[in-house]
Chain A
Amino acid sequence: MVRLRVIPCLDVKDGRVVKGVRFQGLRDAGDPVERAAAYEASGADELCLLDVSATREGRASAVETVRAVRAVIGIPLTVGGGVRRLEDAAQLLDAGADKVAVNTAALERPELLAEIKERLGAQCTVLSLDAARREDAGSPGSMLRWEVVVAGGTRRTGADAVEWARRAVDLGAGEILATSWDRDGTGEGYDVELLRALSEAVPVPLVASGGARSALHMETALDAGASAVLAASIFHDGVTTVDHIKRELARSGRDVRPSLSPTLNPSTLR
C-alpha cells in the first residue's frame, strides 16, 4: 500500500520562507534551501514550495529558489504560485520541480490544466485549491459549502470549491492541494468537512492543507480521505518536527514511511 505522506510547505517570497495567517501578515521563517534539506533529513515524504509573491509581483526569483532547493533534496518537489501559462509550468520543471500547482490562472482559464496534462502528464498537474466557507454557511437550512478564493486569498469568486475540483480532475489534474482559507496559519486543525467533501468528489490523491497544529489534526484529515497532510507553521516554528509527527502517526496505526534516523546515511542502506 502506498504510504500516507507528510509534506512540509515552504511559502517563499523574495527568496525567503515566510508564513502568515490566512495568507496575510507574512513573517520571515528562514532560508528555503536550509529548511528543505532539514525537512528531508527529518523524514519529509515530499516538499511543497509556494511562491506567495507571484500572483501580485514577479516570480523570477522563485525559479532560482527552486533550482537551489532541487540541488540539495532527493525527494519530490511540488511548486506553485503564479503559474499562468504552460511555459511557466515547463520552466519550473526545468528548474527542478516535479509537480506544478496551478491556482488562479486555472480558474480563469481551465484549459490550462488540460494543456499541462497533455504536455507534462497528469502526474505533474496539481490543482491548488484555496477554499473558504461560504458566508451563508451555517445559517439555518443551508448546506455547508465552500467557495474558491484566488489572488492570495484576497478575492472570493463565488465558484463552488467541490464542483471546481471535480471539473479540474476531468481536465487533467492528477492531485488536489486543498487549502482551507479559514484555517490557514491558525493551528485550529484542517477543515475536515471540506476534505471529506473533496475526497468523495474526486478519484485523485488529495493533499490536506491549512490549520494543522498536531498529529491528531493530521489523523483526522487522513481519516477524512486525504492521501497526504501538508503543514508549514508548525514545522517552521519548531512546534514539532516531521520525524515526531510521523512517529505519532505510526503509533496511532497510520501507514507512514518510517522516518530516517539521524544517524542513518545512504551508505548503510546498501
Chain B
Amino acid sequence: MSPDLVLVRTGVANVASVTAAFRRLGVEPRLSDDPLEIRRADAVVLPGVGAFAAGMARLRDAGLVAPLRARVERGEPTLAVCLGVQLLGLESEEAPGLSGLGVAPARTRRLVDAPRLPHFGWNQVEPDRTCRTVRPGEAYFAHSYRLEDTASLAAEGWSVARTREGERFVAAIERGAVLGCQFHPELSGAYGAALMERWLERAALACAGGVA
C-alpha cells in the first residue's frame, strides 16, 4: 500500500517537479500546511526553493515548526530538499540572527570557493560508509548556500554524503527514515528516482513498525 505522503505547502517552493517525480513512482502526494496533518502523515516532504528567511517565516506562521521538529527528532519519515535541508539546521548566513528548525546541528553558509554561483548542475554524490539510503552517483544541484560539514552531525547520528565544487560540502544527510538533500532528487533523473524510491521503502518500513 502506498503511504500517506504529505508535501509541505511552503508557498515559496516549486512543488510541481516533486509532485511529478512521486507520481512517476506511483505515489500521489497531498499538499498541506495543516500542522496536524504534518504531524500525523506517514511521510512528509519539506521542499525548498527560495530564501531562508521566507521559508522559516512561512513555517512559523503556519505553526509547522513544532510538528516538523517532532518528526525529525522521533525519526519519522521526512524528506527535506534543497532549502529544506538548510531549514533543518541551526541558522543561515543568508538570514543572520534567524534560527532554523535546529534539528540538525550545522549552520548554513554561502559557498565560498565555487568558481561560479549559483552552483547549477550535476555533481557527484559521495556517501560516507554509514549512509544507507544515499548511494554514490550524480545528482542535480541548484543553490548558493550549503550546510557546513561538521563533526557534530555524526555525533548526533547523522550520516553525511558530500560533493565538491571549489570546496567539499554536504550534499545530503540521513538518519533512519529522515533524509535531507542539498541536491534535487526530483530533478536528478534515474539516480534521483531510485533514491526517492529507497526513501519511500524506508518510510514504509518505519510506518510498519520495522527498523528504519
Residues on A lying within 8 angstroms of B by beta carbon are 1-5, 40, 45-46, 67, 70-71, 74-77, 93-99, 118-124, 174-175, 203-205, 227-228, 257, 260, 264-267, 269-270
Contact = CB atoms under 8 A, between A and B. Distances in A.
B138 to A, nearest CB: 5
B16 A2 contact: no
14 contacts: A70-B17, A74-B193, A76-B187, A93-B16, A121-B83, A122-B144, A123-B49, A123-B143, A175-B118, A205-B120, A266-B193, A269-B135, A269-B190, A270-B135
Category for how many chain B residues contact A: 35 or more
B189 to A, nearest CB: 5
Contact of B116 (A77, A121, A122, A227): A227
B121 A74 contact: no
Contacts of B63: none
A70 B194 CA distance: 18
Given A2-B141, A3-B123, A260 B190 contact: yes
B194 A266 contact: yes
Interface string B168-191: 000000000000000010111111
A227 B120 contact: yes
Contacts of A205: 116, 118, 120-121
Nearest 7 CB-CB pairings of A with B: A96-B16, A123-B142, A266-B190, A2-B121, A121-B50, A3-B122, A257-B122
Contacts of B16: 67, 70, 93-97
B116 A269 contact: no
Contacts of B74: none
The listed residue with most A CB atoms (<10 A of its CB), out of B17, B117, B191, is B17
Nearest to A175: B120
Interface in B107-142: 114, 116-123, 135, 137-138, 140-142
A260 to B, nearest CB: 7
Nearest to A99: B142
A204 B189 contact: no
Contacts of A45: 121-122, 140
B17 A96 contact: yes
A222 to B, nearest CB: 12
Given A119-B50, A121-B50, A123-B144, A204 B117 contact: yes
Contacts of A4: 121
Given A5-B122, A96-B16, 14 more contacts: A2-B114, A2-B141, A3-B122, A67-B16, A75-B140, A118-B51, A121-B51, A122-B144, A123-B144, A174-B120, A204-B117, A205-B121, A265-B190, A266-B197
